[in-house]
Amino acid sequence: AALKAIEMIKGVTSDVEVGKIYTGEVKAIQRDRMTGKEIGAIVQLTPKHDGMIHISQVSTERIEKVSDILHVGDKIPVLVKEVDKERGRISLSYRDALGVSPDKTE
């Protein structure tokens, strides 16, 4: 129980690092406001950090819909590609995380 509490505290207090792999939960499929097409997925990395996987970062092949591969509630590995602190945005990649060795994960 103590180890679980320590991990929870680390998740709340730590910052997300570029180049690191996290296991996160898909919270929503993001749609374009104008066209309604799926453009990405929102993934919760830590209790206070969410990021987005753009549709181009879901698969190595071209896909029409994010929901063909990812679903709300899926727990997936993601690579942090960029953190924009000014805008409060975190860019993620699912496809790149699949090709990285497990020793870089958190």
77-87 per-position pLDDT tens digit: 999 999 887 88
Grouping H, G, I as helix, E, B as strand and the rest as coil, residue 51 is strand
Distance of CA 86 to the CA centre of its chain: 19
41-58 per-position pLDDT tens digit: 999 998 888 999 999 999
Mean pLDDT of the chain: 86
Q: How confident is the model at residue 30 (pLDDT cuts 50, 70, 90)?
A: very high
- How far apart CA 94 and CA 87 sit, in angstroms, is 22
Beta bridge partners of 48: none
**H/E run at residue 47:** none
Residue 101 has pLDDT above 60, yes or no: no
Residue 39 has pLDDT above 60, yes or no: yes
- How far apart CA 94 and CA 8 sit, in angstroms, is 23
